[in-house]
Structure 1
Amino acid sequence: MPRSSRSLPWILLIGGIIGLAAAAVLTVEKIALLRDPAYVPSCSINPILSCGSVMSKPQAEVFGFPNSLLGIAGFAVIVTVGVALLAGATFRRWFWIGLQIGVTFGAVFVHWLMFQSLYRIQALCPYCMVVWAVTIPIFWYVTLHNVNRPKLTRLHSVPLTIWAVVVLSLIGEQFWSYWRTLL
């Protein structure tokens, strides 16, 4: 069994728990903000790292309810699949196709939200960035499992490293004028 397939249950479990925790905190913060518009979320650190700025925008409720609720549901499924795989469960092909569709939606949605944060809202939500950071490896390792190509599996960490460098570069470039004031 390829290393990435042996790692998949742990990636789903750990990534799912981290994503679920971030989505839960975002939901609690959003409820507090709805109750009291003057509330300052714990993740509003400075003008750039500011959950409040992101949560108050229409992009935070794309489907008419807080996006974090999608995260709670999605990451709960991911955690459950990870635990089931660790317990020895095997799933039929249709299940893996369904999971692939779900994680692909999550990856596309996260990238759309990333673009919105960087170039439209011009603020970053730390908890949202945690969701970005776990969604991509979850997507990538589910994809590797489903395509089952040994050559891709051997190079499994390369696309994730490139993705992280690109995202960090975009963040650095977009907010450089702010970051340099901190130096």
Structure 2
Amino acid sequence: MPRTLTGGRGFGLLLVLTGAAGLLASWVITLDEFKLLEDPGFVPGCSLNPVVSCGSVMKSDQASVFGFPNPMLGLVAYGIVICVGMSLLADARFPRWYWLLFEAGCLFGVGFVTWLQFESLYRINALCLWCCLAWVATILMFWYATALVVREGLLPAPGPLKSFFAEFGWVLPVLHIGVIGMLVLTRWWDFWTS
């Protein structure tokens, strides 16, 4: 019988919370996208200044990279994350292939938001607060999913790496989010300090 694994209730709760945060962000951005289609002069409520300008981000080519608004992808992806989290809260157990597929989805998600972060900071020159919420949620779920698959031996890894993820799994998401925060601060340092 193939080995099955539960991620635990703590991980399940993390997935429900991060999935809900990402779903909320995707939902609000999708609604604003519809309003923008109806009225090209619409200004989203989160467009606060030249830097925090959701409208600028929504009107960019990068906002529909797959031919439809990016948040529509988020509506599906974060919904799946919530379902996985709720299943774990109900003590569900999944086989290795399921966890590796989930990890691959998280890897795609963090890769996609990393590209969007670069585009926002250095091409679009604006930030969307709802996008930032989705970024943080995706970063957290990716690193904690990675910690699970490495720690449990679902991906081959040396013993010290497994030990690191078992004891210090929180370090990498904190560093990752901290680096993004520093990039945002340094990118618009003159704006923030003027």
Correspondence 1:180 to 2:183: no
Per-residue deviation, 1:165: 1.7
The 10-residue stretch of structure 1 (139-148 or 60-69) with the greater mean CA deviation from structure 2: 139-148
Distance in 2 of aligned mates of 1:136 and 1:170 = 15
Distance in 2 of aligned mates of 1:19 and 1:36 = 25
Q: Which runs of 4+ in 1 moved over 6 A?
A: none
- Partner of 2:117: helix, strand, or coil? helix
Match of 2:115?
Answer: 112
Q: Among residues 161, 165, 171, which one is paired with 2:178 in the alignment? A: 165
Match of 2:163?
Answer: 150
Q: Which has the higher helix share?
A: 1
TM-score, normalising length: structure 1: 0.94
Q: Which runs of 5+ in 1 are unaligned?
A: none
TM-score, normalising length: structure 2: 0.89
Match of 2:157?
Answer: none
Distance in 2 of aligned mates of 1:23 and 1:66 = 10
Correspondence 1:75 to 2:88: no
Query: Aligned AA for 2:87?
Result: A
Q: Which runs of 5+ in 2 are unaligned?
A: 1-6, 152-161
Correspondence 1:41 to 2:54: no
Match of 2:154?
Answer: none
Per-residue deviation, 1:9: 0.4
Query: Aligned AA for 2:46?
Result: C
Correspondence 1:32 to 2:43: no
Per-residue deviation, 1:39: 0.5
- Aligned residues between the structures: 178
Per-residue deviation, 1:7: 2.1
Using the aligned pairs only, state the percent identity: 42
Per-residue deviation, 1:42: 1.1
Distance in 1 of aligned mates of 2:169 and 2:40 = 44
